[in-house]
Chains A and B, each alone.
Chain A
Amino acid sequence: MITSIARKEFAEIVRDGRFKWTAAIMVLLLITAMMTGYQKYSASIRIQQAAQTGTNEQWLDQGDKNPHSAAHYGNYAFKPAGPLSYFDNGISNYTGTAVFMEAHKQNFAIGRPASDQSAIARFGDLSGATILQLLLPLFIIFLGFTAFSGERESGTLRQVMSMGVTNQQLLWGKALGIGVAVIIVVVPCVLIGALALSMAESIDHAEGVGTRLGLLSAAYLMYAGIFLFLTLAVSAWTKHARTTLMILVGFWAFTGFLAPKAASEISKFTEPTPAFGKWMADMRAHQIRGFDGVPPFVKFAQYTKELFKEYGVTSVGELPMYFVAVRLQKLEEYDYPVFDQHYSMIRDSYAAQRRVQDKVGIAAPTLPLRSISMALSGTDLIQHVKFMTDAETYRRNMVVKMNDYLSKASVHLNETYSSSNYMRADEEVFAIVPPFEFEPPELSAMIDEHRGNFVLLALWLAAAIGLALFAANRISLERS
């Protein structure tokens, strides 16, 4: 029975000229988005790899110089695009793609693609994710809004209900028929995207691409299910197709446009990000007065005393290391906790904002889906924070290695009265700093982080099905 209803529903939909047009537009948009996304992704990977290789070579070829000067010469870390960023570029347009790593300073990422775009970019990129998050629900609404209310108006519902069909059979049959019509439009496009990905030269930037794709598909399937059953619920509830359409389009606009904007504003209000100028001034002041209130120069004087005691000397010249290098490194280290605290403050405020936005997902299913989609595509805040953390770890390691090398100069000086070996570093020395390599966050950690969003989507789906069943069960032909 359900299959018969589904077949009829499907046949009716695909024979409708309006379906052909809208399906063609959907397919065209999806394939265009996937292809342009893939092209951007490929170009981005090529540029990133070339830039990273170039900066690594520059580091090695910077010319013989003092190792600490080399640390000031610095190096760049370029963020590789996530393997599914061609599908969902998330916040990567706004987070920056490169970090300059140098002695004494922790820098923010630079190279935000959005800054190179025109004002039209404010409307967002045409990505597969945007189309599936915004246009797919509209497509489902368009296919399903007449499912019950339209049949009630045309009179076929009476005819059907007189045949001895249960309301639930009707609901499941219609859900299946509309679902299949949606799937035949969307799935081939997604498969084309996946095929393009499988042919990509470089997909080793995140573990479990297959798992990510599977989870992404599951999340979008749940999202489509939510809209399908909500559409059927409203259609069963209302008496006129026009009313059904108005309610559903209203909800679509709310969840797709208003809720994300509102969630963003609410999160900024409840979890404000520190103003940049003040934040920077506070950090500088904190560096000067010391992380724990003891200024770095006082700390270092104490450390010098301990060093003299340890080596049983009374002057820096007697130390078996180059004292300037030791001082440079210690001052660097005194800044670590200050950087950690202040940069964490920014990161924590962003993370708190994201959690607030996720909570608004209780009222709008687009929000949890958006978070999951960005996370699995490797274009979310967690990915960016991990990149920044890796870059900072790399920077510290680079500076330590250079200062450490420099610190050995004293021994050599004392022995040979020549600083040529340790006061000047060459390519061989620079090579002790390995090239930067980004390790994306583990997939399991990402799934853990978004467990709540998966639950929220599942709850939305369960609620939509429940609502549809309830509405279908109370279909009345009393006044029709």
Chain B
Amino acid sequence: MLEAIQLKKTYGDYDALKGLDLKVEPGDIYCLLGANGAGKTTTINLFLNFINPTSGTAKVCGIDVTAQPLETKKLLAYIPEQVMLYGNLTALENLRYFARLGGHDYTQAEYQAFLERCGLQSGAYAQRVRQFSKGMRQKVGVAIALAKQAKALLLDEPTSGLDPKASNEFSELLIQLKGEGASILMATHDLFRAKQTGTRIGIMREGRMMQELGTEDVSHADIERIYLEHMHGDAGRYAA
């Protein structure tokens, strides 16, 4: 479970996050929507302990990330917009390396199974990832998350730049992980994908959570309308 309690982050005079409260339960895919600078990536960075909060608490499975960063990182998997891998290593080697960093080790067949599950073509397993497309790298990124057996996933615009097919495959994987009880927090600009994949949506603007929605309660069109109204600053009547 991921939980943010009055989480604040300030850079000098700039408030990047203004007292965020958030809870992502196991089996939830929580999609954070918002324009650039809304605080989505800051939220993810706080959960990863890449940055320290100015005040408030971020918890992973009930553990404060600031107090026990290594413990919470063991429970997390992180997939950024661009999964960065080591170009001179093969897909399998990258997967093995990151799995070992996460404290896990598997047989060759198991590593291959992770890659297969993520939809990477078997011919690419032993190829150096330098030549991989973004979609292929994202698949290796998901395989890393799978191999880590993470309880919670933090995804920072993971489908950005992916073609529709790859994006769809990615969404299917997320839904599978959700079914396995993972708590997933995904920052995205993709309203369609948020509605299709997510269980809940949080709309952020200028470091604040403006509104939370259940994806089953609203249509695609509603999400788009509400989102745009928040972006134009005219959505007080929709606030939860």
- Taking beta carbons and an 8 Å cutoff, which residues of A are in contact with B? 1, 4-5, 7-8, 11-12, 15-16, 154-156, 158-166, 476-478
B239: A residues at CB distance < 8 A: none
B101: A residues at CB distance < 8 A: 1, 4-5, 160, 163-165
Alpha-carbon distance between A266 and B222 when the two chains are bound, in angstroms: 79
A5: B residues at CB distance < 8 A: 101
- Cβ A4 vs Cβ B97 within 8 A: yes
- Cβ A159 vs Cβ B50 within 8 A: no
Which of B84-92, B116-124, B180-188, B227-235 touches A? B84-92
Alpha-carbon distance between A5 and B89 when the two chains are bound, in angstroms: 13
A163: B residues at CB distance < 8 A: 73, 98, 101-102, 148
- Cβ A158 vs Cβ B148 within 8 A: no
Q: Is B78 an interface residue (CB 8 A)?
A: yes
Write 8 A-B pairs (CB below 8 A) sorted by A numbering.
A1-B100, A11-B89, A11-B93, A158-B78, A161-B50, A162-B76, A164-B73, A164-B103
- Cβ A477 vs Cβ B50 within 8 A: yes
0/1 string, B15-37, CB within 8 A of A gives 1: 00000000000000000000000
Q: Is B74 an interface residue (CB 8 A)?
A: yes
- Cβ B78 vs Cβ A12 within 8 A: no
- Cβ A162 vs Cβ B78 within 8 A: yes
Alpha-carbon distance between A166 and B68 when the two chains are bound, in angstroms: 12
A158: B residues at CB distance < 8 A: 48, 50, 78, 80, 84
Contacts known (A164-B70, A477-B51); A159 close to B84, Cβ less than 8 A: yes
B73: A residues at CB distance < 8 A: 161-164
Alpha-carbon distance between A154 and B48 when the two chains are bound, in angstroms: 18
Q: Is B196 an interface residue (CB 8 A)?
A: no
Alpha-carbon distance between A263 and B128 when the two chains are bound, in angstroms: 49
Q: How far is the CB of B60 from chain A (nearest CB, A)?
A: 11
Alpha-carbon distance between A60 and B52 when the two chains are bound, in angstroms: 87
Q: Is B45 an interface residue (CB 8 A)?
A: yes
Known: A1-B100, A12-B88, A158-B48. 18 other contacts (CB 8 A): A4-B101, A5-B101, A8-B89, A8-B93, A16-B88, A156-B85, A159-B78, A159-B80, A159-B84, A162-B48, A162-B73, A163-B102, A163-B148, A164-B73, A164-B74, A165-B101, A476-B51, A477-B45
Alpha-carbon distance between A155 and B70 when the two chains are bound, in angstroms: 20
Alpha-carbon distance between A15 and B83 when the two chains are bound, in angstroms: 21
Central interface residue in A8, A15, A155, A161, by most chain B CB within 10 Å: A8
A159: B residues at CB distance < 8 A: 78, 80, 83-85, 98
- Cβ B80 vs Cβ A166 within 8 A: no
- Cβ A154 vs Cβ B51 within 8 A: no
Top-5 shortest CB links A-B: A155-B84, A164-B73, A162-B78, A163-B101, A477-B50
Quick one: which of B50, B51, B89, B148 contacts A12, CB cutoff 8 A?
B89
Q: Which residue of B lies closest to A11 (CB)?
A: B89
Q: How far is the CB of A277 from chain B (nearest CB, A)?
A: 64
- Taking beta carbons and an 8 Å cutoff, which residues of B are in contact with A? 45, 48, 50-51, 70-71, 73-74, 76-78, 80, 82-86, 88-89, 93, 97-98, 100-103, 128, 148, 154
B128: A residues at CB distance < 8 A: 15
Q: How far is the CB of B161 from chain A (nearest CB, A)?
A: 14
Q: How far is the CB of A94 from chain B (nearest CB, A)?
A: 46
B103: A residues at CB distance < 8 A: 1, 164
Q: How far is the CB of A120 from chain B (nearest CB, A)?
A: 40
Q: How far is the CB of A161 from chain B (nearest CB, A)?
A: 7
Central interface residue in B48, B76, B100, B128, by most chain A CB within 10 Å: B100
B93: A residues at CB distance < 8 A: 8, 11
Alpha-carbon distance between A160 and B83 when the two chains are bound, in angstroms: 11
- Cβ B51 vs Cβ A478 within 8 A: yes
- Cβ A156 vs Cβ B86 within 8 A: yes
- Cβ A166 vs Cβ B48 within 8 A: no
Alpha-carbon distance between A7 and B93 when the two chains are bound, in angstroms: 11
A166: B residues at CB distance < 8 A: 70
Q: How far is the CB of A266 from chain B (nearest CB, A)?
A: 46
Alpha-carbon distance between A477 and B50 when the two chains are bound, in angstroms: 5
B85: A residues at CB distance < 8 A: 156, 159
A478: B residues at CB distance < 8 A: 50-51
Q: How far is the CB of B35 from chain A (nearest CB, A)?
A: 20
Alpha-carbon distance between A164 and B150 when the two chains are bound, in angstroms: 12
- Cβ B102 vs Cβ A156 within 8 A: no
B82: A residues at CB distance < 8 A: 155
A156: B residues at CB distance < 8 A: 84-86
Contacts known (A164-B73, A164-B74); A15 close to B88, Cβ less than 8 A: yes
